Protein backbone atom coordinates (compact mmCIF):
# COMPACT_ATOMS: atom_id res chain seq x y z
CA UNK A 1 0.00 0.00 0.00
CA UNK A 2 1.27 3.48 -0.82
CA UNK A 3 2.78 5.58 1.95
CA UNK A 4 1.27 9.07 2.05
CA UNK A 5 2.84 10.19 5.32
CA UNK A 6 5.54 12.25 3.58
CA UNK A 7 3.99 12.86 0.17
CA UNK A 8 0.49 13.93 -0.79
CA UNK A 9 0.88 14.10 -4.57
CA UNK A 10 -1.91 11.52 -4.84
CA UNK A 11 -4.35 13.84 -3.07
CA UNK A 12 -7.20 15.40 -5.06
CA UNK A 13 -9.85 17.86 -3.99
CA UNK A 14 -13.48 17.36 -4.87
CA UNK A 15 -14.79 20.90 -4.78
CA UNK A 16 -17.84 19.71 -2.82
CA UNK A 17 -15.48 19.87 0.17
CA UNK A 18 -15.70 23.66 -0.15
CA UNK A 19 -19.48 23.63 -0.63
CA UNK A 20 -19.32 24.16 -4.39
CA UNK A 21 -21.73 21.36 -5.27
CA UNK A 22 -24.84 23.16 -3.96
CA UNK A 23 -26.12 26.67 -4.56
CA UNK A 24 -25.77 28.99 -1.58
CA UNK A 25 -23.02 27.12 0.26
CA UNK A 26 -19.32 27.70 0.66
CA UNK A 27 -17.22 30.82 0.30
CA UNK A 28 -17.99 31.29 -3.38
CA UNK A 29 -14.47 30.83 -4.68
CA UNK A 30 -14.04 30.82 -8.45
CA UNK A 31 -12.53 27.75 -10.12
CA UNK A 32 -9.36 29.78 -10.61
CA UNK A 33 -9.08 30.45 -6.87
CA UNK A 34 -9.54 26.76 -6.13
CA UNK A 35 -6.95 25.78 -8.72
CA UNK A 36 -4.37 28.21 -7.37
CA UNK A 37 -4.97 27.22 -3.74
CA UNK A 38 -4.65 23.51 -4.52
CA UNK A 39 -1.52 24.00 -6.60
CA UNK A 40 0.09 26.07 -3.85
CA UNK A 41 -0.48 23.23 -1.38
CA UNK A 42 0.83 20.44 -3.59
CA UNK A 43 -2.46 18.73 -4.39
CA UNK A 44 -2.31 16.34 -7.30
CA UNK A 45 -5.71 16.99 -8.81
CA UNK A 46 -9.21 18.45 -8.66
CA UNK A 47 -12.70 17.14 -9.38
CA UNK A 48 -15.20 19.81 -10.37
CA UNK A 49 -19.00 19.85 -10.41
CA UNK A 50 -20.96 20.65 -13.54
CA UNK A 51 -22.62 23.66 -11.96
CA UNK A 52 -19.21 25.34 -11.62
CA UNK A 53 -18.28 25.03 -15.26
CA UNK A 54 -21.02 26.89 -17.11
CA UNK A 55 -19.75 27.40 -20.64
CA UNK A 56 -16.12 27.40 -19.48
CA UNK A 57 -15.32 23.70 -19.19
CA UNK A 58 -12.50 23.77 -21.74
CA UNK A 59 -10.84 26.88 -20.29
CA UNK A 60 -11.06 25.57 -16.73
CA UNK A 61 -9.48 22.30 -17.82
CA UNK A 62 -6.63 24.13 -19.53
CA UNK A 63 -6.07 26.30 -16.46
CA UNK A 64 -6.04 23.28 -14.16
CA UNK A 65 -3.45 21.40 -16.18
CA UNK A 66 -1.31 24.52 -16.60
CA UNK A 67 -1.12 24.70 -12.80
CA UNK A 68 0.31 21.18 -12.73
CA UNK A 69 -2.89 19.50 -11.54
CA UNK A 70 -4.79 16.56 -12.99
CA UNK A 71 -8.51 16.62 -13.67
CA UNK A 72 -9.51 13.82 -11.32
CA UNK A 73 -13.08 13.74 -12.60
CA UNK A 74 -16.39 15.49 -13.11
CA UNK A 75 -19.50 15.25 -10.93
CA UNK A 76 -21.92 14.11 -12.17
CA UNK A 77 -24.45 12.63 -14.56
CA UNK A 78 -28.13 13.36 -13.98
CA UNK A 79 -30.02 10.80 -11.94
CA UNK A 80 -30.75 7.96 -14.34
CA UNK A 81 -33.56 6.31 -12.40
CA UNK A 82 -35.99 7.08 -9.62
CA UNK A 83 -38.15 9.92 -8.34
CA UNK A 84 -35.44 12.60 -8.70
CA UNK A 85 -34.77 11.82 -12.36
CA UNK A 86 -36.02 14.00 -15.20
CA UNK A 87 -39.54 13.16 -16.40
CA UNK A 88 -38.79 11.26 -19.59
CA UNK A 89 -36.23 8.87 -20.99
CA UNK A 90 -35.39 11.36 -23.74
CA UNK A 91 -34.68 14.16 -21.24
CA UNK A 92 -32.57 11.88 -19.07
CA UNK A 93 -30.48 10.68 -21.99
CA UNK A 94 -30.07 14.20 -23.40
CA UNK A 95 -28.68 15.45 -20.10
CA UNK A 96 -26.56 12.31 -19.75
CA UNK A 97 -24.99 13.09 -23.12
CA UNK A 98 -24.48 16.73 -22.11
CA UNK A 99 -22.62 15.63 -18.98
CA UNK A 100 -20.36 13.45 -21.14
CA UNK A 101 -19.70 16.38 -23.47
CA UNK A 102 -18.80 18.58 -20.50
CA UNK A 103 -16.41 15.95 -19.14
CA UNK A 104 -14.73 15.73 -22.53
CA UNK A 105 -14.42 19.51 -22.83
CA UNK A 106 -12.96 19.71 -19.33
CA UNK A 107 -10.53 16.90 -20.10
CA UNK A 108 -11.88 14.66 -17.35
CA UNK A 109 -11.37 10.99 -18.04
CA UNK A 110 -13.93 9.99 -15.40
CA UNK A 111 -17.56 11.06 -15.11
CA UNK A 112 -19.27 9.94 -11.90
CA UNK A 113 -22.71 8.34 -12.04
CA UNK A 114 -24.95 8.77 -9.00
CA UNK A 115 -27.69 6.52 -10.21
CA UNK A 116 -30.93 7.71 -8.61
CA UNK A 117 -33.29 5.60 -6.58
CA UNK A 118 -35.92 2.96 -7.31
CA UNK A 119 -38.08 3.78 -10.29
CA UNK A 120 -41.59 4.99 -9.39
CA UNK A 121 -44.07 2.16 -9.54
CA UNK A 122 -41.49 -0.51 -8.74
CA UNK A 123 -40.49 -2.25 -5.53
CA UNK A 124 -36.97 -3.15 -4.49
CA UNK A 125 -34.02 -2.25 -6.70
CA UNK A 126 -33.56 -5.00 -9.31
CA UNK A 127 -35.92 -3.53 -11.91
CA UNK A 128 -34.25 -0.15 -11.47
CA UNK A 129 -30.80 -1.71 -11.84
CA UNK A 130 -31.91 -3.19 -15.17
CA UNK A 131 -33.15 0.21 -16.34
CA UNK A 132 -29.90 1.79 -15.13
CA UNK A 133 -27.84 -0.74 -17.08
CA UNK A 134 -29.89 -0.04 -20.20
CA UNK A 135 -29.36 3.72 -20.01
CA UNK A 136 -25.65 3.41 -19.23
CA UNK A 137 -25.21 0.96 -22.11
CA UNK A 138 -26.90 3.37 -24.49
CA UNK A 139 -24.44 6.12 -23.53
CA UNK A 140 -21.26 4.08 -23.18
CA UNK A 141 -20.16 4.20 -26.82
CA UNK A 142 -20.86 7.94 -26.96
CA UNK A 143 -18.63 8.38 -23.90
CA UNK A 144 -15.90 6.12 -25.29
CA UNK A 145 -15.74 8.17 -28.48
CA UNK A 146 -14.98 11.18 -26.27
CA UNK A 147 -12.42 9.35 -24.07
CA UNK A 148 -14.70 9.50 -21.04
CA UNK A 149 -15.03 6.64 -18.56
CA UNK A 150 -18.27 6.22 -16.61
CA UNK A 151 -17.92 5.41 -12.91
CA UNK A 152 -20.93 3.91 -11.13
CA UNK A 153 -20.85 4.98 -7.49
CA UNK A 154 -22.68 2.81 -4.95
CA UNK A 155 -24.26 4.87 -2.17
CA UNK A 156 -25.15 4.04 1.42
CA UNK A 157 -28.45 2.21 1.96
CA UNK A 158 -29.46 5.25 4.01
CA UNK A 159 -29.85 7.13 0.70
CA UNK A 160 -31.54 4.36 -1.25
CA UNK A 161 -35.07 5.71 -1.13
CA UNK A 162 -34.45 8.36 -3.76
CA UNK A 163 -30.73 8.68 -4.62
CA UNK A 164 -29.45 5.20 -5.45
CA UNK A 165 -30.41 1.76 -6.64
CA UNK A 166 -26.88 0.35 -6.12
CA UNK A 167 -25.59 0.12 -2.56
CA UNK A 168 -22.57 -2.15 -2.67
CA UNK A 169 -19.56 -2.64 -4.90
CA UNK A 170 -21.16 -5.95 -5.92
CA UNK A 171 -24.30 -4.11 -7.05
CA UNK A 172 -22.23 -1.69 -9.11
CA UNK A 173 -20.15 -4.44 -10.66
CA UNK A 174 -23.30 -6.39 -11.54
CA UNK A 175 -24.48 -3.36 -13.51
CA UNK A 176 -21.04 -3.10 -15.15
CA UNK A 177 -21.35 -6.74 -16.18
CA UNK A 178 -24.81 -6.11 -17.63
CA UNK A 179 -23.51 -3.12 -19.61
CA UNK A 180 -20.41 -4.93 -20.85
CA UNK A 181 -18.46 -1.82 -21.90
CA UNK A 182 -14.74 -1.38 -21.26
CA UNK A 183 -15.16 2.26 -20.24
CA UNK A 184 -17.71 1.54 -17.48
CA UNK A 185 -16.41 0.85 -13.97
CA UNK A 186 -16.94 1.83 -10.35
CA UNK A 187 -16.03 4.62 -7.95
CA UNK A 188 -15.49 3.59 -4.33
CA UNK A 189 -16.48 6.25 -1.79
CA UNK A 190 -15.60 5.36 1.80
CA UNK A 191 -18.61 7.28 3.10
CA UNK A 192 -20.92 4.89 1.33
CA UNK A 193 -19.13 1.54 1.66
CA UNK A 194 -17.25 1.70 5.00
CA UNK A 195 -19.83 -0.63 6.58
CA UNK A 196 -19.64 -3.33 3.88
CA UNK A 197 -17.68 -6.29 5.30
CA UNK A 198 -17.71 -7.98 1.88
CA UNK A 199 -16.01 -5.07 0.08
CA UNK A 200 -12.42 -6.36 0.15
CA UNK A 201 -13.42 -9.81 -1.07
CA UNK A 202 -15.63 -8.36 -3.80
CA UNK A 203 -12.91 -6.07 -5.10
CA UNK A 204 -10.25 -8.79 -4.91
CA UNK A 205 -12.42 -11.15 -6.96
CA UNK A 206 -14.09 -8.74 -9.38
CA UNK A 207 -12.49 -5.28 -9.15
CA UNK A 208 -9.24 -5.62 -11.08
CA UNK A 209 -9.06 -2.89 -13.70
CA UNK A 210 -12.57 -1.67 -12.92
CA UNK A 211 -12.00 0.87 -10.14
CA UNK A 212 -12.06 4.35 -11.67
CA UNK A 213 -12.02 6.48 -8.52
CA UNK A 214 -11.52 6.41 -4.77
CA UNK A 215 -13.26 9.03 -2.60
CA UNK A 216 -12.34 9.99 0.96
CA UNK A 217 -14.14 11.45 3.97
CA UNK A 218 -15.49 9.80 7.14
CA UNK A 219 -18.77 8.68 8.67
CA UNK A 220 -19.49 10.48 11.93
CA UNK A 221 -20.78 8.27 14.74
CA UNK A 222 -23.51 10.79 15.54
CA UNK A 223 -24.23 12.14 12.08
CA UNK A 224 -27.11 14.60 11.92
CA UNK A 225 -27.75 14.39 8.16
CA UNK A 226 -26.84 11.45 5.94
CA UNK A 227 -26.32 13.74 2.96
CA UNK A 228 -24.79 16.91 4.36
CA UNK A 229 -22.93 15.89 7.54
CA UNK A 230 -19.90 13.95 6.38
CA UNK A 231 -16.81 13.93 8.55
CA UNK A 232 -13.25 14.96 7.90
CA UNK A 233 -10.94 11.95 7.67
CA UNK A 234 -10.11 10.71 11.15
CA UNK A 235 -13.21 12.19 12.82
CA UNK A 236 -15.46 9.19 12.29
CA UNK A 237 -15.75 5.42 12.42
CA UNK A 238 -14.51 4.32 8.97
CA UNK A 239 -11.33 2.22 8.84
CA UNK A 240 -9.73 4.36 6.16
CA UNK A 241 -6.46 2.49 5.81
CA UNK A 242 -8.18 -0.88 5.53
CA UNK A 243 -10.51 0.49 2.89
CA UNK A 244 -7.63 1.90 0.87
CA UNK A 245 -5.78 -1.40 1.22
CA UNK A 246 -8.78 -3.17 -0.33
CA UNK A 247 -8.91 -0.70 -3.21
CA UNK A 248 -5.18 -0.75 -3.90
CA UNK A 249 -4.98 -4.54 -3.59
CA UNK A 250 -7.47 -4.62 -6.46
CA UNK A 251 -5.03 -2.60 -8.57
CA UNK A 252 -6.10 1.02 -8.06
CA UNK A 253 -3.17 3.44 -7.80
CA UNK A 254 -4.79 6.68 -8.89
CA UNK A 255 -5.72 9.88 -7.11
CA UNK A 256 -7.53 9.82 -3.76
CA UNK A 257 -10.31 12.37 -3.92
CA UNK A 258 -11.54 14.10 -0.76
CA UNK A 259 -15.29 14.78 -0.96
CA UNK A 260 -16.86 16.17 2.22
CA UNK A 261 -20.47 17.37 2.23
CA UNK A 262 -20.65 19.32 5.49
CA UNK A 263 -23.18 22.13 5.49
CA UNK A 264 -22.90 23.04 9.17
CA UNK A 265 -19.21 22.42 9.80
CA UNK A 266 -16.54 22.37 7.10
CA UNK A 267 -18.50 24.48 4.63
CA UNK A 268 -18.67 27.19 7.30
CA UNK A 269 -14.89 27.41 7.65
CA UNK A 270 -12.34 29.38 5.68
CA UNK A 271 -11.46 27.44 2.51
CA UNK A 272 -7.75 27.82 3.24
CA UNK A 273 -8.21 26.06 6.60
CA UNK A 274 -10.23 23.27 5.01
CA UNK A 275 -7.56 22.67 2.37
CA UNK A 276 -4.77 22.66 4.95
CA UNK A 277 -6.66 20.25 7.22
CA UNK A 278 -7.29 17.91 4.30
CA UNK A 279 -3.54 17.71 3.62
CA UNK A 280 -2.74 17.00 7.28
CA UNK A 281 -5.44 14.34 7.64
CA UNK A 282 -4.56 12.72 4.31
CA UNK A 283 -0.99 12.26 5.46
CA UNK A 284 -1.86 11.05 8.96
CA UNK A 285 -5.15 9.13 8.64
CA UNK A 286 -5.59 7.79 5.14
- The per-residue pLDDT for 176 is 98
199 lies in a domain?
yes
3-state helix, strand, coil in the chain (%, to 5): 40, 15, 45
Which residues constitute the domain of residue 93?
11-285
2 lies in a domain?
no
Helices (H), 107-219: 126-145, 169-179, 190-193, 199-206
- The per-residue pLDDT for 148 is 98
DSSP-assigned beta bridge partners for residue 189: 215
DSSP-assigned beta bridge partners for residue 150: 111, 184
Question: How far apart are the C-alpha atoms of 230 and 179, rounded to whole Å?
Answer: 31
- Domain count along the chain: 1
Of 226, 208, 244, which Cα lies nearest the Cα of 167? 226
90 lies in a domain?
yes
CB-based burial of residue 270 (10 Å sphere; 0-12 exposed, 13-18 middle, 19+ buried)?
exposed
CATH number at residue 84: 3.20.20.150
182 lies in a domain?
yes
6 lies in a domain?
no
Render each residue's pLDDT in the chain as its tens digit; 286 residues: 999 999 999 999 999 999 999 989 999 999 999 999 999 999 999 999 999 999 999 999 999 999 999 999 999 999 999 999 999 999 999 999 999 999 999 999 999 999 999 999 999 999 999 999 999 999 999 999 999 999 999 999 999 999 999 999 999 999 999 999 999 999 999 999 999 999 999 999 999 999 999 999 999 999 999 999 999 999 999 999 999 999 999 999 999 999 999 999 999 999 999 999 999 999 999 9
4 lies in a domain?
no
3 lies in a domain?
no
94 lies in a domain?
yes
Amino acid sequence: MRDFSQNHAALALNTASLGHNLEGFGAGWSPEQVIDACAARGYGGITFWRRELGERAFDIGVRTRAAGLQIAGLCRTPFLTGPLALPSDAEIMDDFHRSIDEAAELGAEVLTIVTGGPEPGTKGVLDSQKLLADRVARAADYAAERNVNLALEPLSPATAGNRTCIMTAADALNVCDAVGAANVGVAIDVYHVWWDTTLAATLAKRGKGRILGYHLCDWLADTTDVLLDRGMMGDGVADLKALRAAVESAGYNGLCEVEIFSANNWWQRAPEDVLDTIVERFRSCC
